[in-house]
Chain A
Amino acid sequence: MYSKSMEPRIVGTAVPRKEAAAKVTGTAQYVDDVSLPGMLHGVTVRSGHPRALIRHIHFGDGIPWHEFTIVTARDIPGRNIVTLIFDDQPFLADGEINHPEEPVLLLAHENKDMVRRARQHVFIDYDPLPAIFDIDEALQAKTIIWGEDNVFKRYCIEKGDVDAVWSQADFIVEGEYSTEAQEQLYIEPQGMLATWDPETGITVRGSMQCPFYVQKALMPLFNLPAEKVRVIQQETGGAFGGKEEYPSMIAGHAALLAWKSGRPVKMIYDREEDMAATTKRHPSRTRHRTAVSRDGRLLAMDIEFIIDGGAYATLSSVVLSRGTIHAAGPYRCDNIRVRSTAVATNTPPHGAFRGFGAPQSLFAIERHMNKVARTLGLTPEEFRRRNFLRQGDSTATGQLIKQPLDLARLQQRALQLAGYADKLERFSRLNREGTRKKGIGFSTFMHGAGFTGSGERHLQSVVHLEARADGTVCVLSSMTEMGQGTNTILAQIAAEALGTSYEQVQVLRPDTAQVPNSGPTVASRTAMVIGRLVQSAALSLKEKLLQAALLQPGYTPEQFQSACREYICSIGPLKTSAQYEEPPGVHWDDEKYRGEAYGAFSWAVHVAEVTVDTVTGEIQLDDFVALQEVGRVLNPVLARGQIEGGVAQAIGYALYEKVVWRDGGMANNQMTNYIMPTAMDLPPIRVYFEEIPYEHGAMGAKGIGELPMDGPAPAILNAVENALGISFCHIPLLPEDVLSELSVAREAALDLAGSVV
């Protein structure tokens, strides 16, 4: 635990990123930078059909097929299932197709161009089956594509008695909100390099978040024990959730080709394939029905939240869970019901993406709160102020807020930093004239850190620390670095707790043959949960040195290093480990969905300022303030960068990034027509922190990675509403959407004028 009496030397300072030098010199090794002798290049032949039965596969003329390694479902030595939560998704289609990017066949050849060309000459005949493409079609269940009713998962949270309240409400406000898919668009496309050796088994190295997920998926595929499936993470060029589950698929494919050919096989997706075939953020639809009293108190919130999971279950149940728990936002209300459903459609499976269901449901609540405020005749800030959760209140799942929490103050500070009151007044004056309208809006929200409910207890994460003979200490965990700063913060925490220097701590690259399973690198858990384990392991390592009388309290980093050396020389290996233990007082009921959903929440207020051009429909962001309470900030530069990057990604989600679907496939799977923000598009992103150390987090830290994805979209649409007086309920909000609503509004105004005359 971080205590005030111990002034931290390293935690809280902007030490440079561990792997920074390798990254700025271009020497960091991403998977495509690695080549092995005799290596083949692998590609995937995909279905191209949303739903069908495979009748026949034939190989076209003009390709020397005998030079190729070819793998179909029939070749698979073990189970043809990508192990995750439900056993429904095959590595290679076996007779049946459920989405247009379903892998059917694998090819490998030593010439990269040749194998790409050959892919075009594999022809598959199908018997088409009826397919469904959206939430409504899935729920209507006229065509059943998954299970009995196209439903992957349902949840229901009930707090109090919503139905008893409607008759007493002064106002009942309803709203419907929807969000579309979003592509993670990490700049490094997915890729794997696999080797096979009859003695040692399979080794894959590649771009990934969760080496042990990959290992777990490959073991049954080959009927091999864990020690014969080795998974090594290469430097990973961004992930954002997109490399949580799909790497298991590519690793399986590359490994099958390596196993069949006996040669190393590299499989790197090009951008188009990556965008079309890998997972994206779940599209969603949320309906709110809210009862409020005349004095602006929330009496009841009835919420229906539905997400489109695509063709296979993958992580949809977990994404749904997080979206469900966050659906009621940071508000106190005695009567809450959230009913949620994840449905199946014939599109590639949707999956993890920073925020994991929460950006969708928080978009809805944060737009809806403005609508309720407007109905009541209150400002959005005053309405929120009257309803914020405070210390001692309970959330939708009945989780007691134990930490100090003052959202009213956080809101006030953020609005002040943004110059909100002034701007509101000024914009309303300015907007009377001209075609460029200015607006300001905000959102208030939270994000739970770590796995939901009993998840962390089930994971039983382990971390090792090992001192080397040269006095350096190595952190061994399965936490991956993908740009978010794992290596750096874990080293900071270890160095701080050990009393050594940051430079003397190394963080080992995750390799299942060398590191313990610390769970997946997801869910904003690295700093809070795993950092905490690093801290405990460090404290026990230090304790060993103190007990061996090799160190005296008040030692210097140099003394620490020589103590390590001496211990190893005279006593033996110096190694400690720590395993997750649940903090006291955590109860979670998986059936009723009640209890402590998360160890801790981070809280934030984001304020967006926009100019809307009513001629072109374009929305320009002029300023963005992001204020958050994330516990102790371990590294101010990294933390700031993570917030800025998350806000940028969320601005894309709100205003630019639209996936165009055609028959279940992504039609605009290129960077030329799927548009993410460039350096020209972003406003200044002004980042501020409040730090309230969380006693069970590493040195007081809570989660930070996903939080900034949650708030910008509703803040921006609230600002657009302020500018135009038009309420948009759908993202992405593109210029054409703005123009079409403006013309509707203009016609309505003309009609009104006509009827007055």
Chain B
Amino acid sequence: MAECSVSFTVNGRIQSVTVPPMKRLLDVLREDLNLTGTKEGCGEGECGACAVLLNDELVNSCLVPVRDASGARICTIEGVPAAGQLHRLQQAFIEAGAAQCGICTPGMIMAGLQLLSRCPHPTLEEIREGLSGNLCRCTGYMRIFEAIQNVAQSSE
């Protein structure tokens, strides 16, 4: 398969990779850029474990061929802490017990961040809606809702 060179920004840094154009963004992040915080749960766009922000939109990176990310601004879980400090949503996840096995957590946090950026004070319904593409088998979601609500409240 012919390879092509693709450039984009990941967590504020310009990156170039030479890979098959249909290689999944998920695999490029994990294998070529060694950003293994983004997880694979299903590979078919159902679980959201692979969620990243692409030009501020929440996408499942297992469904994105890398060539479609050319020139894009990508944010992964590795880019969430600022200046070595946990983001307050990450802190809220810890306090509320929102991460159990942790495999859904990076994707959940990306979904939560995206929700809070477009809707800083979401209702419970909006939170449910915002997380509906991210499956968690451990928590029953209640602790995750609480973490997001806590962040929303503290920013009032």
- Chain A interface residues toward B at CB < 8 A: 14, 16-17, 19-30, 32-33, 184-189, 235-240, 270-271, 482-485, 637-638, 640-642, 644-649, 670-672, 676-680, 682, 684-685
Shortest Cβ distance from B100 into chain A, in angstroms? 4
- Cα distance, A551 to B86, chains bound together (Å): 38
Task: List 12 A–B pairs whose Cβ atoms lie within 8 Å, in order of A's numbering.
Answer: A17-B99, A20-B94, A23-B99, A26-B77, A32-B30, A33-B36, A187-B136, A641-B97, A641-B100, A645-B139, A671-B46, A685-B140
**Residue B61, interface by CB 8 Å:** no
| Given the contacts A21-B86, A238-B138, A679-B131, A26 and B76 also touching, CB distance less than 8 Å | yes
Indicate with 1 or 0, residue by residue over B69-98, a CB within 8 angstroms of chain A CB atoms: 000000011101100001000100111110
Bitwise interface map of B from 45 to 86 toward A, beta carbon under 8 Å scored 1, else 0: 011010000000000000000000000000011101100001
A319 to B42 CA separation, bound complex (whole angstroms): 28
Cβ–Cβ contact A644 & B109, under 8 A:
no
Q: What CA separation (Å) do A478 and B111 show in the bound complex?
A: 35
A435 to B128, CA, bound (A): 26
Whole-angstrom CA separation of A270 from B134 in the bound complex: 18
Contacts of B137 on A, CB cut-off 8 Å?
184-187, 238, 240, 645, 649, 676
CB distance from B73 to the nearest CB of A (A): 19
Kindly report which residue of chain A lies nearest to residue B139, judged by CB atoms. A645
- With A24-B86, A30-B103: A187-B47 Cβ-Cβ less than 8 Å: yes
Whether the pair A16, B95 counts as a contact (CB closer than 8 A) is yes
A28 touches B132 (CB 8 A): no
> Does B37 sit within 8 A of A, measured CB to CB?
yes
Is B101 a contact partner of A483 (Cβ separation < 8 A)? yes
Question: Judging by beta carbons under 8 Å apart, are A188 and B41 in contact?
Answer: yes
B103 and A238 form a contact (CB under 8 A): yes
Do A271 and B100 touch across chains, with their CB atoms under 8 A apart?
Answer: no
Which residues of chain A have C-beta atoms less than 8 A from B101's C-beta?
A: 186-188, 236-239, 482-483
Q: Which residues of B contact A671 (CB under 8 A)?
A: 41-42, 44, 46-47, 135
List B113-146 residues whose CB lies under 8 Å from chain A: 127-129, 131-132, 134-145
A484 lies within 8 A of B44 (CB): no
Q: How far is the CA of A239 from the CA of B137 in the complex (A)?
A: 10
Q: B99, A20: Cβ atoms under 8 Å?
A: yes
Contact surface of B with A, Cβ cutoff 8 Å: 30, 36-44, 46-47, 49, 76-78, 80-81, 86, 90, 93-97, 99-106, 109, 127-129, 131-132, 134-145
- Contact of A237 with B97 in the complex, beta carbons under 8 Å: no
Q: Provide the residues of chain A in CB contact with B95, threshold 8 Å.
A: 16
A682 CB contact (under 8 Å) in B30, B99, B141 = B141
Q: How far is the CA of A670 from the CA of B43 in the complex (A)?
A: 10
When the two chains form the complex, which single residue of B80, B136, B139 contacts A25, counting CB atoms closer than 8 Å?
A: B80
Give every chain A residue within 8 A of B39 (Cβ-Cβ): 26, 30, 32, 187-188, 237
A239–B100 alpha-carbon span in the complex (Å):
11
Of chain B, the residue at the smallest CB distance from A483 is B101
Asked if B139 and A24 make an inter-chain contact with CB atoms under 8 angstroms apart, the answer reads: no
| Contacting residues, chain B, for A484 (C-beta < 8 A) | 100
Q: Whose C-beta in chain B lies nearest to the C-beta of A638?
A: B97
Among B36, B76, B105, contact of A23 (Cβ-Cβ < 8 Å):
B105
A29 proximity list for chain B (CB < 8 A): 36
Which chain A residues border B136 with CB–CB below 8 Å? Answer: 187, 679
A29 CA to B95 CA in the complex, in Å? 21
With A188-B41, A236-B101, A483-B102 already in contact, 5 other A-B pairs whose C-beta atoms are closer than 8 Å = A24-B109, A25-B78, A188-B103, A238-B103, A645-B137
B92, chain A: closest CB distance, angstroms: 9
Q: Contact check, A237 vs B96: say whether CB atoms are below 8 A apart.
A: no
A25-B96 in contact (CB<8A):
no
| Contact of A14 with B141 at beta-carbon distance under 8 Å, contacts A26-B78, A188-B39, A271-B41 already known | no
Decide if A21 touches B132 in the complex (CB within 8 Å): no
Complex Cα gap A642–B95 (Å): 15
Contacts of B94 in A (CB 8 A): 16-17, 20-21, 24
Say whether A187 contacts B49, CB under 8 Å: yes
Give CA–CA (A671, B99) in the complex, Å: 21
Within 8 Å CB of A638, what residues of B?
97
A637-B128 in contact (CB<8A): no
A24/B103 contact (C-beta < 8 A), A237-B39, A671-B47, A676-B137 known: no
Cβ contacts under 8 Å, A270 to chain B: 43
Assess whether B138 is in contact with A680, with CB atoms less than 8 Å apart. Answer: no
Measured in the bound complex, the distance between the Cα atoms of B103 and A644 in whole Å is 17
B141 / chain A contacts, CB cutoff of 8 Å: 644, 648, 679, 682
With both beta carbons as reference points, the residue of chain B lying nearest to A27 in the complex is identified as B37
With CB as the reference atom, state the residue of chain B lying closest to A235.
B102
- Distance in angstroms from A688 CB to nearest chain B CB is 14
Return the contact of B36 from the options A26, A485, A645, A679 (Cβ within 8 A): A26
Q: Which 5 A-B pairs have the closest CB atoms?
A: A26-B37, A483-B101, A237-B103, A23-B102, A648-B140
Chain B residues near A185 (CB-CB < 8 A): 137
Asked whether, in the complex, the Cβ of A187 is within 8 Å of the Cβ of B37, the reply is: no
A28: chain B residues within 8 A (beta carbon): 102
* Bound CA span A285–B151, Å: 47
Residues of A within 8 A of B81 (CB): 25
In the bound complex, what is the Cα–Cα distance between A33 and B39 (angstroms)? 9
Question: A34's closest neighbor in chain B, by CB?
Answer: B36
CA distance A28 to B44 in the complex (A): 23
The reply to whether B102 and A644 contact each other, CB–CB distance below 8 Å, is no
Q: Once the chains are docked, how many angstroms separate the CA of A502 from the CA of B46?
A: 38
CA distance A641 to B41 in the complex (A): 21
Given known contacts A237-B102, A637-B96, A640-B97, is B77 in contact with A25 (CB within 8 Å)? yes
- In the complex, the answer to whether A271 meets B93 with C-beta atoms within 8 Å is no
A271 with B143: CB separation less than 8 A: no
How far, in whole Å, are A17 and B80 apart by their CA atoms in the complex? 20
| Residues of chain B contacted by A17 (CB below 8 angstroms) | 94, 97, 99
- A32 contacts across to B, CB distance below 8 A: 30, 36, 39-40
Q: Which residues of B contact A645 (CB under 8 A)?
A: 100, 137-140
Q: A641-B143, A645-B138, A679-B131 are in contact. Are A187 and B103 (CB under 8 A)?
A: yes
CA gap between A236 and B101 in the complex, in Å: 7
**Cα distance A16–B96 in the bound complex, in angstroms:** 9
Please indicate the chain B residues that have their CB under 8 angstroms from the CB of A680 in the complex.
128-129, 132
B residues less than 8 Å from A239 (CB atoms): 101
A24 to B137: give the CA distance in the assembly, Å: 16
User: Do B38 and A685 touch (CB < 8 A)?
Assistant: no
Report yes or no: A24 in contact with B134, Cβ–Cβ below 8 A: no
Q: Is the CB of A24 within 8 A of B90?
A: yes
Are A25 and B142 in contact (CB-based, < 8 A)?
no
What is the bound-complex CA distance between A20 and B93, given in angstroms? 8
Q: Which residues of B contact A189 (CB under 8 A)?
A: 40-41
Closest residue to B97 on the A side, CB-wise?
A637
Shortest CB–CB separation between residue B148 and chain A, in angstroms?
A: 10
Residues of A within 8 A of B30 (CB): 32-33
How many angstroms between the C-alpha atoms of A252 and B4 in the bound complex?
38
B44, B106, B132, B140 — most chain A CB neighbours (10 Å): B140
CB-CB < 8 A to A24: which residues of B? 86, 90, 93-94, 99, 102, 105, 109
